[in-house]
Every structure is written in C-alpha cells, then in structure tokens.
C-alpha cells in the first residue's frame, strides 16, 4: 500500500462531527513529517465524498487547502452541518479533534 493509499485510508476513518489535522493524518500513515504531502493528496482527492477531505484542517484549526480561498466557506458550511464546533473562523480542536483509536 502506498503512502497516498494510507492517507486516504486514515482520512476515511474520521467520523462526522470531528476533524483531523494534516500532521495527524501523516503520523497515522507512518510519515510524521509529511503533513504537506497530505495536503496535496487532500487537494487532489479523487474519492470525495467517500474520503472526507473537508474534515482535514491545519494544526491550529484553520481551514485551508479546499480548492483555494473561494471554497473555504463551503468547507466551513459542510463541517458546521456535520456538527464540528468553531471558535470564530477556526475549528475548536479542544472539542472537535478526532481522537483516533488504533
């Protein structure tokens, strides 16, 4: 299984109402320093919505990478609809970060 496959596999596990960070997905896919690569894979995700790339956010809870700035309101709307909690424009990671189990 390639790193890309592992990234998509881990992203599929993020439940509705939760988010993961790019770094968290990189760690779960066994390449902890490859958060940027995870971002590239999310941006080019051919498996949406089965692979919910909108549930992957920056380490500080900010939204990015969702087909550029014009689509960020759509990403936020999708996350709010799923029950993700925000503080201003950032996801409240203390409440909405996915605590993965192995």
Catalytic residue among 14, 20, 26, 53: 53
Identify whether 73 is a catalytic site residue: no
Looking at beta carbons, which pairs linking 2-10 to residues 24 or more positions away fall under 8 Å? 3/29, 3/30, 3/31, 3/34, 3/37, 4/41, 6/30, 7/37, 7/38, 7/41, 8/41, 8/45, 8/47, 8/51, 10/100
User: Which residues are part of the catalytic machinery?
Assistant: 53
């Amino acid at each position: 299984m390639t790193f890309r496959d592992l990234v998509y596999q881990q992203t599929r596990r993020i439940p509705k109402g939760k988010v993961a960070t790019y770094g968290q997905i990189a760690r779960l896919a066994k390449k902890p320093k490859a958060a940027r690569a995870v971002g590239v894979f999310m941006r080019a995700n051919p498996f949406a919505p089965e692979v919910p790339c909108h549930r992957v956010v920056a380490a500080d809870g900010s939204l990015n990478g969702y087909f550029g700035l014009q689509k960020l309101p759509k990403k936020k709307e999708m996350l709010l609809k799923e029950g993700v909690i925000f503080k201003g424009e950032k996801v409240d990671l203390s409440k909405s970060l996915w605590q993965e189990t192995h």
